Amino acid sequence: MYDHQSVEKKWQKVWEDEKTFKTDTTDFSKPKYYVLDMFPYPSGNGLHVGHPEGYTATDIIARKKRMEGFNVLHPMGFDSFGLPAEQFAIQTGNHPSIFTNKNIDHFRDQIKMLGFSYDWDREIATSDPSYYKWTQWIFIQLYNAGLAYVDEIPVNWCPELKAVLANEEVIDGKSERGGYPVIRKPMRQWVLKITDYAERLLEDLELVDWPESTKEMQRNWIGKSQGANVVFKIDGHDAEFTVFTTRCDTLFGATYCVMAPEHPFVDQITTPEQKEAVDAYKAVCQTKSDLERTDLNKDKTGVFTGAYAINPVNGKKIPIWISDYVLASYGTGAIMAVPAHDTRDYAFAKKFGLPIIPVLEGGDVENEAYTQDGVHINSDWLNGLDKQEAITKMIAWLEENKVGEAKTTYKLRDWLFSRQRYWGEPIPIIHMEDGTMRTVDIEELPLELPATEDFKPADSGESPLANCPDFLHVEIDGVKGVRETNTMPQWAGSCWYYLRYIDPKNDECIGDPKLLEHWLPVDLYVGGAEHAVLHLLYSRFWHKVLYDQGILPTPEPFQKLFHQGMILGENGEKMSKSRGNVVNPDDIVVSHGADTLRVYEMFMGPLEAGLPWSDQGIDGTRKWLERVWRLFTQVAQITDENDHKLDRVYNATVKKVGSDIDTLNFNTAISQMMIFVNDCYKTKTIYRPYAEGFIKMFACFAPHLGEELWQTVCHKDKTLAYEPWPTYDENALKQDKVTVVVQVNGKMRGKMEVAADTDEETLKQDACALESVQRFLEGKTIRKIIVVKGKVVNIVAN
Ligand code: ANZ
């Protein structure tokens, strides 16, 4: 048995003392490789066994790339602002900064125990003023570019968290964190104009090597929709309103219109008889989130306004209703309803007895909406055309008659960026007494969070910073002002952290332009799929803004992206305290060792799969590491003369492990190393270069044991981290050939040349396919085929 505790501590100390993994980012003589992990949120629970899964994967790649001669940037840091620290602090009477720093120390210790090859001199924490100085600086760039503005808008207000949440943070009407109810409420908010970048965020997905499923989620989130705006006059009013439709070809089938309850025209057009009902309905809708309102399965509700619109294409008067299935925030906030061909409109028309006129052939509109393509009917000059032809013709007609135009809309909304909380970056804005707004001078950054004990959020939704008079009040050139008291959301710090690692201590700018030019983009980014539309979209947005300003050299931040799967409890369920199935990595490091944990997590299955933890699996992995240790220290003799017995398996192993690491297929790389070890147990002698080559590959997975073997077995006095990656000889992979005799009923009828290790099934098939053999099988039925591997195939037939 090898003593994992002392071996692992020994090498961790060596790496730390000698700064083995320190990166000289100014060394441009080698090709660069930037491999990044999604940095952790330092929660009070400490590291989870899920964290090391992605971290081990990137570590293996970082180690291999170093051996391949790349200058590797592989950093780690902490996403340390955010709600949970504040919630915990409030509940326990701690201060969030003390609590957060304690958690960071604990996380760092835990991560270091796993032997990852990070350059710790680049560590960052988003709540550190020297870091958030630059988060604030980026905000000022956004503000100056007209991409940050204040708006009075209905927001997702969570009474329990006393915070406004972004749309992305609300799931089924509840907060993503904690699952508390969320209501709609108008408030003064900072908003970032991510919609200006909608088209480029969509198009540039073509530039990156990302999982197709994640790209698709971003496409859906951006939600580009091509259609038309159509203008309707209101009967008896001067006013007209516009609807957005993707199916302007169905205009002849529009039998009513619907406005969102918040549509600015509603009060104006509602008739006195309908006023009471309309007002009551509006009041109910106010409390609902967009998600509740658009739920497809929900019973449709609505009220008639008493007013009529005039269908521009045929002059017909059609009633205007209000209903919550039309959202104020999408399109124009009003629709033309075509119940024969839209499912929601159909349900609504059926419920309120509104006319249903089919304008497409096919379907059965007595029973359901027909949403497929078809030949147009009941549509005057569109009759006989299909969907695409009719859309083109209708848009031309609308434009000619000045009652509409082609229009593209996006589902993406501007990004609600302010939080009424303490534990976040202060927004560097001052509201002056004269009504103007100005940014904090760059020289004054960082604008530090005041060290208050009074950081509880108020019921009013006002930020705790409003209770800090020293922070709040300022005077500039004799003009008084108050600081913005909202803080930034947790996404802010994580939007750009990958940039800061490149030049983390630079106090003059976010990073030396020469270094940014050399190191961007991130070559490989590994992290959970849960960030597909939040962090990964926000980062792309900020990156593009800074790119447009000439600060960054590339249009995209992350060239290749990979999502690791989730490690589940032994019962196949998500690990959680309440289920009592959480495995603590610290315990495994003590009982089995960090190398075992790393190799086990890589051997569990494909990296992208969600897989259950297994105690038996971890024991098995530990046994294999001991088997490797025994092989090199007790069982095998390392020789300087090659007996060639391992030529084929060694070269095959170098080839497969190398290509499997490149494609992140770590489990099959480990299987191949196991095959090599088994063969070494048979030969009991290992040619020295093969032993060294194997140990280098093995050390990517199990670095402590790898270094120990390198030192004790290979008698080296220096780390193997920068040794050249092993190469293989393609010729050695060629298999030995043997001649196999083929018999039919015991008589020799043919011969074939095959690879020595051809399997039985292939031998049988090849034997039967031989022409000389087939002649003797004609008209007969094969009863049995006996194979003596590498020698004879005897076919019994009659
Ligand atoms: C008439 C019509 C006929 C429509 C038909 C669809 C089918 P996407 O693809 O998601 O962009 N719509 C427009 N604005 C809306 C709003 N604010 N709230 C709810 N629904 C809205 O969908 C666009 C379609 O959704 C539009 O095309 C409109 O209904 C509806 F056979 O107009 B359609």
Which amino acid, residue 153?
A: I
* Minimum CA distance residue for ligand 1 atom 20: 326
Dist. CA 596 → ligand 1 center (Å): 55
Dist. CA 245 → ligand 1 center (Å): 5
Helix (H, G, I), strand (E, B) or coil at 274: helix
Ligand 1 closest atom vs CA 338: 3
Q: Determine whether the shortest distance from the Cβ of 326 to ligand 1 is under 6 A.
A: yes
Q: Which of 17-31, 377-391, 761-775 has the lowest mean pLDDT?
A: 761-775
pLDDT tens per residue across span 32-73: 999 999 999 998 888 999 999 999 999 999 999 999 999 999
Dist. CA 330 → ligand 1 center (Å): 9
Helix (H, G, I), strand (E, B) or coil at 682: helix
* Minimum CA distance residue for ligand 1 atom 2: 247
Distance (Å, rounded) from C-alpha 699 to C-alpha 694?
8
pLDDT tens per residue across span 201-255: 999 999 999 999 999 999 999 999 999 999 999 999 999 999 999 999 999 999 9
pLDDT for residue 145 is more than 90:
yes
- Is residue 515 packed enough to be buried (19+ CB in 10 Å), middle (13-18) or exposed (0-12)? middle
Specify the length of the chain in residues. 798
* Minimum CA distance residue for ligand 1 atom 10: 225
Q: Determine whether the shortest distance from the Cβ of 341 to ligand 1 is under 6 A.
A: yes
Q: Determine whether the shortest distance from the Cβ of 336 to ligand 1 is under 6 A.
A: yes
- Is residue 436 packed enough to be buried (19+ CB in 10 Å), middle (13-18) or exposed (0-12)? exposed
Dist. CA 243 → ligand 1 center (Å): 9
pLDDT tens per residue across span 110-133: 999 999 999 999 999 999 999 999
Q: In what order do the strands lie in the sheet with 429-432?
A: 437-439, 429-432, 479-483, 473-476
Q: Determine whether the shortest distance from the Cβ of 253 to ligand 1 is under 6 A.
A: no
Half-sphere exposure of 16 (CA within 13 A, CB side): 11
Given ligand 1 and candidates 335, 343, 345, which is best to mutate, with the most ligand atoms within 8 Å of its CB? Answer: 335
Q: Determine whether the shortest distance from the Cβ of 327 to ligand 1 is under 6 A.
A: yes
Beta carbons of 210 and 201 less than 8 angstroms apart = no
What pLDDT, on the 0 to 100 scale, is given for residue 177? 82
Dist. CA 301 → ligand 1 center (Å): 17
Ligand 1 closest atom vs CA 371: 31
What is the rounded average pLDDT for all residues in the chain? 94
Q: Give the pair of three-digit tokens for residue 586.
A: 């610290």
Dist. CA 495 → ligand 1 center (Å): 33
- 224-410 belongs to CATH 3.90.740.10: yes
Buried b (16+ CB within 10 A) or exposed e, 112-135: bbbbbbbbbebbbbbbbeebbbbb
Ligand 1 closest atom vs CA 341: 31
What pLDDT, on the 0 to 100 scale, is given for residue 755? 84
Q: Determine whether the shortest distance from the Cβ of 242 to ligand 1 is under 6 A.
A: no
Mean pLDDT of 326-346: 95
* Minimum CA distance residue for ligand 1 atom 14: 331
Integer-rounded Cα Rg, in Å, for the chain is 34
What pLDDT, on the 0 to 100 scale, is given for residue 11? 98
Distance (Å, rounded) from C-alpha 367 to C-alpha 64?
63
Q: Give the pair of three-digit tokens for residue 388.
A: 């695409």
Ligand 1 closest atom vs CA 248: 1
Dist. CA 203 → ligand 1 center (Å): 23
- Which numeric CATH code is attached to 585-732? 1.10.730.10
Cα separations in angstroms, 663 against 31, 53, 215, 610: 19, 16, 19, 18
Residue ranges of E strands in 644-716 = 685-687
Q: Determine whether the shortest distance from the Cβ of 245 to ligand 1 is under 6 A.
A: yes
Ligand 1 closest atom vs CA 333: 17
What pLDDT, on the 0 to 100 scale, is given for residue 738? 86
Q: Determine whether the shortest distance from the Cβ of 250 to ligand 1 is under 6 A.
A: yes
Mean pLDDT of 497-517: 98
Beta carbons of 489 and 61 less than 8 angstroms apart = no
Q: Determine whether the shortest distance from the Cβ of 467 to ligand 1 is under 6 A.
A: no
Distance (Å, rounded) from C-alpha 6 to C-alpha 10?
6
Dist. CA 342 → ligand 1 center (Å): 8
Q: Determine whether the shortest distance from the Cβ of 251 to ligand 1 is under 6 A.
A: no
Dist. CA 183 → ligand 1 center (Å): 25
Residues carrying CATH 3.90.740.10, the chain: 224-410
Q: Is the dihedral of CA 220, 222, 228, 232 positive or negative?
A: positive
Instruction: Report pTM.
Output: 0.87
Dist. CA 335 → ligand 1 center (Å): 7
Distance (Å, rounded) from C-alpha 532 to C-alpha 45?
24
Question: Which is more confident, 725 or 714?
Answer: 725
pLDDT tens per residue across span 338-377: 999 999 999 999 999 999 999 999 889 999 999 999 999 9
Half-sphere exposure of 103 (CA within 13 A, CB side): 27
Distance (Å, rounded) from C-alpha 37 to C-alpha 48?
15
What pLDDT, on the 0 to 100 scale, is given for residue 197? 98
* Minimum CA distance residue for ligand 1 atom 8: 225
- 20-137+491-568 belongs to CATH 3.90.1150.10: no
Residues carrying CATH 3.10.20.590, the chain: 735-797
pLDDT for residue 704 is more than 90:
yes
Ligand 1 closest atom vs CA 328: 17
Q: Determine whether the shortest distance from the Cβ of 360 to ligand 1 is under 6 A.
A: no
* Minimum CA distance residue for ligand 1 atom 26: 245
Max alpha carbon distance in the chain (Å)?
112
Which amino acid, residue 113?
A: M
- 735-797 belongs to CATH 3.10.20.590: yes
What pLDDT, on the 0 to 100 scale, is given for residue 255? 97
Q: Determine whether the shortest distance from the Cβ of 414 to ligand 1 is under 6 A.
A: no
Distance (Å, rounded) from C-alpha 1 to C-alpha 630?
8
Q: Determine whether the shortest distance from the Cβ of 333 to ligand 1 is under 6 A.
A: yes
* Minimum CA distance residue for ligand 1 atom 32: 245
Q: Determine whether the shortest distance from the Cβ of 602 to ligand 1 is under 6 A.
A: no
What pLDDT, on the 0 to 100 scale, is given for residue 290? 67
- Element at 589 (helix H, strand E): helix 585-591
What pLDDT, on the 0 to 100 scale, is given for residue 296? 63
Cα separations in angstroms, 71 against 60, 504, 622, 648: 15, 17, 32, 32
Given ligand 1 and candidates 244, 293, 313, 371, which is best to mutate, with the most ligand atoms within 8 Å of its CB? Answer: 244
Asked whether the bond before 446 is cis by omega within 30 degrees of 0, the reply is yes
**How many other CB atoms sit within 10 Å of the CB of residue 378?**
14
* 365 contacts: CB under 8 Å, gap ≥ 6: 340, 346, 356, 358
Place of tokens 């066994």: 49
Strand-pair category, 792-797 with 737-744: parallel
* Minimum CA distance residue for ligand 1 atom 29: 245
* Minimum CA distance residue for ligand 1 atom 22: 246
Given ligand 1 and candidates 246, 292, 356, 373, which is best to mutate, with the most ligand atoms within 8 Å of its CB? Answer: 246
**How many other CB atoms sit within 10 Å of the CB of residue 359?**
25
User: Which one, of 516, 747, 504, lies nearest residue 28 by Cα?
Assistant: 516
What pLDDT, on the 0 to 100 scale, is given for residue 94? 83
pLDDT tens per residue across span 385-441: 999 999 999 999 999 999 999 999 999 999 999 988 899 999 999 999 999 999 999
Distance (Å, rounded) from C-alpha 792 to C-alpha 666?
38
Q: Determine whether the shortest distance from the Cβ of 4 to ligand 1 is under 6 A.
A: no
Dist. CA 343 → ligand 1 center (Å): 10
Residues carrying CATH 1.10.730.10, the chain: 585-732
Distance (Å, rounded) from C-alpha 598 to C-alpha 81?
29
Q: Determine whether the shortest distance from the Cβ of 330 to ligand 1 is under 6 A.
A: yes
* Minimum CA distance residue for ligand 1 atom 21: 326
Distance (Å, rounded) from C-alpha 624 to C-alpha 317?
80
What pLDDT, on the 0 to 100 scale, is given for residue 297? 66
- Element at 689 (helix H, strand E): helix 688-701
Say what percent of the chain tops pLDDT 90.
81
Strand-pair category, 224-234 with 303-310: antiparallel
Q: Determine whether the shortest distance from the Cβ of 417 to ligand 1 is under 6 A.
A: no
Ligand 1 closest atom vs CA 260: 17
Q: Alpha carbon 392 to chain centroid distance?
A: 38
Q: Determine whether the shortest distance from the Cβ of 246 to ligand 1 is under 6 A.
A: yes
Q: In what order do the strands lie in the sheet with 71-73?
A: 71-73, 32-37, 522-526, 558-562
Q: Which of 55-69, 235-249, 571-585, 646-660 has the lowest mean pLDDT?
A: 571-585
Beta carbons of 562 and 608 less than 8 angstroms apart = yes
Show the CA angle centred on residue 193, arms to residues 188 and 195, nearest 5°.
125
Dist. CA 344 → ligand 1 center (Å): 9
* 739 contacts: CB under 8 Å, gap ≥ 6: 751, 752, 753
